[in-house]
Amino acid sequence: MNKTLAVRLALIFGLAASLGFTAAAAKAQDSSSSASGPAAAPAASAPAASAPASAAAAATAREKKPVPPYHDAAPKGPLPDTLDPEQFSDPETRNIYALAAKIKAVLYQEPCYCGCDKEAGHKSLLDCYRDLHGSGCDLCKKEAVFAATETQKGKTPAQIRKEIIAGEWKTVDLSLYGGPPPAR
């Protein structure tokens, strides 16, 4: 049981670190979510069990995280529309929905790491822009902007997917998309 707990904590701390949370916040979230279940008793030994967890163990645990759903090939037929960007008053959201509308076939082939596959049944990053989800999720916004930028550089959806899986979308600065779109 202690080995299982140590692996679980390594996964939690690795995920929390990749999302920018502190170890204390991740530990607090883990103990609050496990307090109601049968695993509540071993949680008391969590500090001792987590001590041996190294950065290498956390990195290994992160690498084994399953990739969210995506389509591995271009669509066979027309894709559904994204939401109309003009319905959003926030310039950042409007600009990113406009970008998403231009690269639907790419977004169709990309995973989304925000958890919307489990919460909203999304099957790819495109689904985030077919509904309102993308308007309130900075992670989805960063992934879409990253996909658009890499598409402009001539990268294929498969190359972009590999970079998204590697977490390269995390470097996107959304503040660059909050103004009016550049004139052409």
Residue 78 lies in a domain: no
Q: What is the 3-state secondary structure (H, E, C) of the chain?
A: CHHHHHHHHHHHHHHHHHHCCCHHHHHHHHHHHHCCCHHHCHHHHHHHHHCCCCHHHHHHHHHCCCCCCCCCCCCCCCCCCCCCHHHCCCHHHHHHHHHHHHCHHHHCCCCCCCCHHHHCCCCCCCHHHHCHHHHHCHHHHHHHHHHHHHHHCCCCHHHHHHHHHCCHHHHCCHHHHCCCCCCC
Q: Do 89 and 41 fall into the same domain?
A: no
Q: Do 132 and 58 fall into the same domain?
A: no
**What is the pLDDT averaged over residues 29-36?**
36
Residue 76 lies in a domain: no
Q: Do 107 and 169 fall into the same domain?
A: yes
pTM of the model: 0.64
Residue 74 lies in a domain: no
Residue range 62-99, pLDDT digits in tens: 556 788 888 888 889 999 999 999 999 999 999 999 99
For residue 8, name the pLDDT band (cuts at 50, 70, 90).
Answer: very low
Residue span of the structural domain in which 43 resides: 2-63
State how many domains the chain has.
2
